[in-house]
Structure 1
Amino acid sequence: MERKPRTRRRSIVDIFDLVNSSQQEDFRIVTKSGNTTVKLANNPSSKKFFYPNIFISVVELESAWICLIFLTCFLLSWFTFALLYFVVAEANGDFVPTDGETIPCVEDVHNFLEMFQFSMETQTTIGYGTRYVTDECPTAIILVVIQSILGVLILTAITGVILFKFQSPKRRAHTVLFSKFACVYEEDDVYFIEIQILNMQRSQLIDPKVAALCIMNREDGSGKCRLDMEFNPCHESSRLFFRPKVFRHLIDKSSPFWDFNRKDFLKGDYEIIVVVEGVDEFTDSFVHARTSYLPSEVKWSRHFKQMTAARKGNIFKLNFNDFTRTKRSYDMTDDSASVASRRSSVEKNDDNEIQMSEFVNGDTYQYQ
């Protein structure tokens, strides 16, 4: 009986080969998650920008670095004041055995570890128990006052940083979902680019506004240029974000895509950056979300389907599967918006000439 050859088990080398052989994502200035890939080269010393605005600079750090910074601040302040208390107590002779008549600067402290615990209790205001500062050492009393004020400042700073960190517009931006594709479609001989945006959180966005810009190469080959785009809601504007909204850009003479046909849209060198801004109704905090679309993420002659809603009792449920679905516009050609506009103008002029000719000849046809 012929034995089948044994198959080799997949190893970690195969996984790395799979990752290396995978096709890399096309270069973009703004990633789909909203992060930018632009970095400054040969920039001045970062100290000139970090220290004058140290609070915002700390807020922009990663959460792990923020925890490490404030943990270091607390431990360093406790240790520093414990050392100062220990020096004052040593100078007063608190650690020298006596007959009990000498009053120490800090009561019930016999070594540096207990002094460190006293320093922590002073700064965190969880004391005092058996350890306290007596009135025999004015220097120790002054240190207690200074440490109490410094402790309040450190606690206020860390509270403010954590509050700003959790209320950052980028954190709320993760609950704002953009459509994976942008669609180009025609309606009454007018071209549009449309995207769909969905608020995934129950708290609504009040007065959402969408802005966009296009980054593309100049025609003279001198580099990239930035062109502003205007996106308006497809239906009647609402100050709330109860359901998915479709925003569209009118391709007219002021649009950067006025002369783009189907091939230019699908094979061009451009990037559409979309930004949505609003205010959260619960926290009243500012929300800022963004994404981008490359030519491979633009669909020609398609537009988004409306998400179906099913009522169950007093609740309306939206089918999330409809968020990514599009339908085809069969009447749309492969021409650009400029060509379609000229063709429409010629057809209207021809119709007007026919109507005028029939009117002059006395025909009784009625045109709607």
Structure 2
Amino acid sequence: MENKMRARRRSVIDFFDFVTNSEPDDMRIVTKSGNTTVKLANQPSSKKFFYPNIFISIVELESAWICLIFLTCFLLSWFTFALLYFVVAEANGDFLPADGESQPCVEDVHNFLEMFQFSMETQTTIGYGTRYVTDECPTAILLVVIQSILGVLILTAITGVILFKFQSPKRRAHTVLFSKVACVYEDNGIYFIEIQILNMQRSQLIDPKVAALCIMNREDGSGKCRLDMEFNPCHESSRLFFRPKVFRHLIDKSSPFWDFNRKDFEKGAYEILVVVEGVDEFTDSFVHARTSYLPSEMKWSRHFKQMTAARKASTFKLNFNDFTRTTRSFDMSDESASQASRRNSEETQEENVIQMTEFVNGHVDIQYN
């Protein structure tokens, strides 16, 4: 029983260590959570970009700022129209002693606080009935029309922002998990970089696609360069994302890691950016998730352990602990893919020479006999 409790406690710790990466992200272009750390310097005035695209600019803000903006809009509109109603009522003499003949612009209002309450009731269409605009003041009626239209516009804007915020691709991206590390291993003399991706949501991602690029320093010391990388699914491609998928990058002559040996992978200056895109099957919304890998997260001569599925009744259960585990490949040297390719080519040539020599010698012997 104690061993089971220890195993469970350890598995929970592994899970949170996997999700909340404790390593510093100061040197990353893209953090493990998918946020970018790139900021523009000496950029033009932000007003030129904010006002023409104000809707997207507001959506990109934090939720607290969005709530503050719309709360300010409501309070400011209520106060402004209350002030306008108060000025119209004051001009009409509503706050003077009643003479029994004149009718007020706004019924049952005696001070500014009650006028503010009337303004709120009008814009929110509550309309308790005790306060209302009479037909004595066309100006007050016009203010009611303008305030009603403005209230509808504000409600429409906040509804659109909230829906857009909930349907943002980054919201769904939190349920798409990337492996904490990337593995470099050899398979039949061919070198690969592989990553593992898991969909935590019950709704599947339809036709997921993985794109990647590598940011590294140029060999001539002129700065950083961007090199595209291809990641293909390890097994047969599927349009659904039912279980964890392993994606591999072939290290060939077109790869930026063709001349990288073990030391270069573990101590080099580069960053691999990985992006997953797909469509959620329930909401039909676009999903966009991304992460990055630094040299400290590249594991040499290892590959991911396949997650085991256990059948229980009519369902299959996957062991999540296997998602964070890798197994070692003992037959991989520390040389680069290019060195291994040349060595294999030389060994193949030597074998061909030996076979040809044996064939010639045997043929001569046969002729001699």
Per the normalisation by structure 1, the TM-score is 0.89
For residues 85 and 162 of structure 1, what CA distance do their matches in structure 2 show? 31
Residue equivalent to 2:177: 177
Larger mean Cα displacement after TM superposition, 335-344 or 67-76 = 335-344
What's the secondary structure of 2:214's corresponding residue? strand
Residue 333 (structure 2) pairs with residue 338 (structure 1): no
Shift of 1:26: 5.7
Q: Structure 1: 5+ residue runs without aligned partners?
A: 1-21, 364-368
The alignment of Structure 1 onto Structure 2 pairs a total of residues equal to: 342
Q: Structure 2: 5+ residue runs without aligned partners?
A: 1-21, 365-369
For residues 50 and 342 of structure 1, what CA distance do their matches in structure 2 show? 56
Per the normalisation by structure 2, the TM-score is 0.89
Residue 212 (structure 2) pairs with residue 186 (structure 1): no
Residue 181 (structure 2) pairs with residue 158 (structure 1): no
For residues 51 and 82 of structure 2, what CA distance do their matches in structure 1 show? 28
Shift of 1:117: 1.1
What's the secondary structure of 1:85's corresponding residue? helix
Residue equivalent to 2:228: 228
What's the secondary structure of 1:158's corresponding residue? helix
Shift of 1:356: 4.6
For residues 26 and 122 of structure 1, what CA distance do their matches in structure 2 show? 52
For residues 112 and 205 of structure 1, what CA distance do their matches in structure 2 show? 56
What's the secondary structure of 1:209's corresponding residue? strand
What's the secondary structure of 1:256's corresponding residue? coil
Shift of 1:347: 2.9
Residue 47 (structure 2) pairs with residue 47 (structure 1): yes
For residues 210 and 314 of structure 1, what CA distance do their matches in structure 2 show? 31
For residues 72 and 25 of structure 1, what CA distance do their matches in structure 2 show? 36
For residues 138 and 197 of structure 1, what CA distance do their matches in structure 2 show? 65
Residue equivalent to 2:17: none
Shift of 1:353: 4.1
Structure 1 residue identity aligned to 2:258: W
1:11-160 alignment, distance < 5 Å: 27-160=27-160
Structure 1 residue identity aligned to 2:104: P
What's the secondary structure of 2:212's corresponding residue? strand
Residue equivalent to 1:275: 275
Structure 2 residue identity aligned to 1:59: V
1:352-367 alignment, distance < 5 Å: 352-357=352-357, 361=362
What's the secondary structure of 2:73's corresponding residue? helix
Classify 1:24/1:240 alpha carbon distance in 2 versus 1 (closer, same or farther; 3 Å): closer
Shift of 1:41: 1.4
CA RMSD after TM alignment: 1.8
Classify 1:24/1:277 alpha carbon distance in 2 versus 1 (closer, same or farther; 3 Å): closer
Structure 1 residue identity aligned to 2:284: D
What's the secondary structure of 2:341's corresponding residue? helix
For residues 353 and 24 of structure 1, what CA distance do their matches in structure 2 show? 54
1:184-333 alignment, distance < 5 Å: 184-333=184-333
Shift of 1:348: 3.0
Deviations 1:82-124 (A, max 9, x none): 1111111111111212233222111121211111111111111
Structure 1 residue identity aligned to 2:302: R
For residues 23 and 126 of structure 1, what CA distance do their matches in structure 2 show? 53
Structure 2 residue identity aligned to 1:281: E
For residues 201 and 123 of structure 1, what CA distance do their matches in structure 2 show? 40
For residues 191 and 331 of structure 2, what CA distance do their matches in structure 1 show? 12
What's the secondary structure of 1:183's corresponding residue? strand
For residues 353 and 95 of structure 2, what CA distance do their matches in structure 1 show? 112
Structure 2 residue identity aligned to 1:154: I
What's the secondary structure of 1:86's corresponding residue? helix
Classify 1:354/1:316 alpha carbon distance in 2 versus 1 (closer, same or farther; 3 Å): same
